[in-house]
A and B are shown apart, each in its own frame.
Chain A
């Protein structure tokens, strides 16, 4: 079936990744053809037939079924791949060569190293930065996450068949858009079922591609592709200005992170000469798999023959460089035993400044901050909830936003200690910050969005403290229960006619028991109740955190904030569940029309509930370390995690205590929520915030306003300022910054033609024009008998030539 399958089972993953792409292309092609023949549909003939075959005015369901079928195939292949991988690597000691392959994407010139004879292959390979390669590499981490993404995507694809069913109508009325435009007539549009699945499939391709990539370049490509899919899907309801603006915000904030990522890539390319992750690790840490230690060196001299170094083992001041090992493997390992300071004169080794290594790590991490919506780039994620709920579940909860965590885990060996500390702090701050905001929100999806930010922060915190398995295990379990929670919310929203405000919901348990119960599983899992999947991962994270607290008590925030977050998480999740499903209905009229969602939506809920419950189980059940999923992930753990052994060991020592503290935190939060929302009926007014702190949290710590004032407005003002200084506009264009496009474009501005003033010294353009005019008048004065503007110009130019030639003659003489 796949060429060379026996020798290279990894191609299974390539195939699985390609399926959604093929689906995307087919859907795009069909959409293009349909659009092409649409103007001709009334004319009859082939065009009309084609138009009706492709669905005519009513969106076809066939495209969605095709996408679901493709995703099913991908999910099956991913499970097959996981099984194969685990059985094969259980017998063999390492993954071997067959699970990774790469080919050149672009290769430049037949360059040969200086001093060497015309190139043998080895010499050519030793030169850095000759080829950008593409390839795949499967390890336990990739295999697990690939399966997770494929299965969760499949659940959400199926769920969306039900959730998005109104998009199959010929005409859809968008009341939200009507509301935003203050219109009396409803906003009508065609259904967009196919388009939705097109973007969703493209997203799945990009996400899976990100997971199998073996180099930073491909990861960056996917990074941007998932971003653009996110852009399209957030802005799916493009009639609503709020949706389009949220989409823009998401994309541009992600680009801020991507710029950092690009800088990281550029440093790696310039100094390490490769973007392949294994090669990067080898250059930095020497041994296979990046097992060695970073060596800081002091450069004594550089010469043609090579560089002379002193290897310094401590972090002493003169050691401002990092030693880089040779690119090719077969070169000798000189420093294997050199623990003491030693001078060496080596041809194959190079160095890079320590601070650049630091910046490289920070740059890549900035990419992760943007993608995973961490503080200070977290504000786009809540706004991204403008997209349809399945999108929120898939992209903005389970997979794409977790890509940042994945990348930190994947690039673990290339970070400096200072970067790890930054990661931990950013994670802890985000976890706390987002949780506080989630306490008071009333939009069901926004609560979940802030909860996502917060949980991702916990993952980063764990990674920053060396809890590699803890962080990535939480990524997987979080994907299960957060997708479940979002789909549950989607089920509620669908049933309630797109009402998302919990102040209007209530008492839905009787009406939709399956949704309520499955969501309860999700709530318990995220809160960290024992034996649910979230418990296993959260316990590990908190164990790491407590280990740090005991080892380096000066980082008090790093263990205080996560504990507070645990309490708050439990509180706001129970608040959500209790308000929506228990108590009396707050909107009687709404409540009456509610009914349980169809099977196409509840079955995915049940599947995800099972995964959220039992996804991380192992034997014995009460032993956190025994989690099967955790053990699989541990296989992929990079060797350099041992640098955090001091933290991890202390965490292990006080494991039982951590468990008790964590459970206590969870119970405190849950009890508080029950006391306020569970016992007595809560009215809509009581859900509103009144206190000063509550208002501050309701306004999300005023981050949006601050960014608007610090970044957006100055940039736009600078842009229009420079634009005005560049050229006086010929139409009445003033004040776009002051008047952003108003939703109801009723106020039409008239464009007036105006000739620019003759001498306009205020703008660059006017300045140059004046210069030209001055030259022309000068020419006219000299050559009175000539007339006609063009002639004048030509004459001026001729004079210039003469002057220039005279200069040349002088020079020559």
Chain B
């Protein structure tokens, strides 16, 4: 905007060198995001959440003490995109790895990055017990209601009636159980200090989500216990929608089952 108005007012053509002055910079990629091209589908929420986490780590100046635990699922390659030390866990076990890192390196800042299958199906026990011990870790939880990496199967968080490759007629709760509101469940554990549900589909939600990430890291450094940030997310490929349709569908349907906002903040 600045550059455009400047061009209009002066009626002069600026050279490229003149444009790329630090004074004209309005936005830049954090150096913590590597130059590796992301493998995520266009429209997927992972890329935005990655960027926000990388920005917060940079802004807080904690790159050197932060250790990420990557999941199994679409975010398995998270370690290729954020320039910190990483451990790649087995499916669902990230909170167990994070527990050990937290105990053995109490001055580090440990977070897990997990999807709904990882965190709320196969790793339910590890999630609940890490939270219940109040491990000083941050858990970033991508809930898109579907298994993206394996090609669109039903997740524990798939909402009622939602079509997936393993619930082709839509999730029938009488047959397949109810969508698991695991973040709500985690709020009743004494070990969690902060549980919030966010999204990244509009500029306003992105700003709020970034604040939530920052708070989770601040809690971790202050050794306040476990912080959980759920991101209600889109998987337009798995949902078989355009990115725009997916955002609309999420707002219309997913937010009913998973309303946004803080669930616990102590």
Q: Do A and B come from one complex?
A: no
Which A residues lie at the B interface, using CB under 8 A? none
Residue ranges of B at the interface with A (Cβ–Cβ < 8 Å)? none
